[in-house]
Amino acid sequence: MEENQFTSLTVPSDYFQQYQSSQQYPEVQHVAPYPSMDRYTEGPMDEPVMTELSVHRDPVLYQEPFYQLGPFYPPTPVKKKRGRPPKQQTEDGETHEEEDEVEAAKKAKRALNRFNGMSVADVMAKTLPDVITYNLDILIIGINPGLLSAYKGHHYPNPGNHFKCLFLSGLTDQQLNYMHDQSLPEKYSIGFTNMVERTTPGSKDLSKEIREGGRQLLEKLQKYKPLIAAFNGKIYEIFCKETFGVKAKNLEFGLQPYKIPETETVCYLMPSSSPRCAQFPRAQDKVHFYIKLKELRDQMKGLAPGHEVVETQYSFDLQLAKDAKRIAIKEEQLDP
C-alpha cells in the first residue's frame, strides 16, 4: 500500500546534536539545514522528502537593560488642601443646584431652631437695653449686641463667655450668669452698654455707624459719669480716635492716659471676654486684668492704698478643665 511507504525517518546524528544544542541555548533563532538532506529519500519515491529541516521558535524580543543611575527617592505625597472641597460640576459645567438648595434649607432650619422659630431678620430687628445708672463704679462697654444677646434680652449670654472673671477677681462675691445682669448696678455698681445699638451677627457687619456710635457713647458717659469706663476689647482704639483725635498705637491693656472730657471718668482697656480672643483664649489668662480693674476701683474710691498689683500665680488642674469643658458643651446643647 502506498500509505505505508514511509514507516520511519532516519535523522543524521550530527544534526540531532545540533538540534539539542539549540534547545539548551534558546537565543539561537534558526539552525541552518544539514547540507546533505536536500534530497533524502527512502524507497522508490522521486520527490524530495525533506528539502529543509528547521527548528522554528518565536523570536526573542530585545529588551533594554535597566541601569540605576542614582539613589531611589520615593515620590513626594501630594499635600491635600485644607478647607471645604470644591463643588463638583456636571459635564455641562453647572453646579449641583439641588444640593445647594437642600443645604440652604438645613441652615434655615437650624436658625429657626436656634431662636425658637424666629428668623435671623426678626432677631436683628430687636434691640438690647442698657444696664446703666448714674455714678456707677464700672461701666463695661461692648461694641454692639449679638444675635443671642438680642434674642434673650441679656448681655453676654453665651455660656463660653469669660465674665466669670468678675467672680474670680473678687469684683463679685458669687458666681453669676447672664440672668443676673439687671441686678449688677444695685448690688455691685457695675453696668453694661454698647457703642452701637444695632444688632448684627458679628462686628464685621458694622460700617461707618461705629463712628457715630462713638459720639453717642461719649454723650452717654458724660451723662451718667461712671468712675471707670471699661472697654471690652480693642474698640477703644476707634473711640480714642473719634473722641480725643489721637490714633492709638501699640495699645496696652490697663489704665489709659485719657479721661472722658468734662468728667473724671478714666478709661480702662481689658481683653475681650469672648472665648474667641486669640491673644487670651482662656479665662485664667484674663483674670489678671480684672484684678487690676478691681485694684483701680478701690484706689479711686479710697478703699485701698495705691500700689502695683502683684502677679497672681495660677495652677492648672487638667481634670477640672475637662469637667468645665464637658459642662460648657452640655450648656451649649441646651442653650445654643
Beta bridge partners of 254: 269
* Grid-cell match 458724660, residue found: 222
Whether the CB-CB separation of 213 and 196 falls below 8 Å is answered with: yes
Alpha helices in 160-208 (DSSP H): 165-168, 184-188
Question: In the β-sheet with 228-232, what is the strand arrangement from edge to edge?
Answer: 190-194, 138-142, 228-232, 266-270, 254-259
Q: Which amino acid is at 252?
A: E
Which of 108, 105, 144 lies closest to 128, judged by CA? 144
Q: Is 56 a catalytic residue?
A: no
Q: Is 135 a catalytic residue?
A: no
Instruction: Please identify which of the residues 154, 155, 162, 288 carries the catalytic annotation.
Output: 155
d(CA 226, CA 223): 9
Q: Which amino acid is at 165?
A: C
Instruction: Please identify which of the residues 30, 113, 144, 288 carries the catalytic annotation.
Output: 144
Residue 192's φ and ψ, nearest 5 degrees, are: -130, 140
Q: Which three cell numbers stand for residue 334?
A: 441646651
Residues noted as catalytic: 144, 155
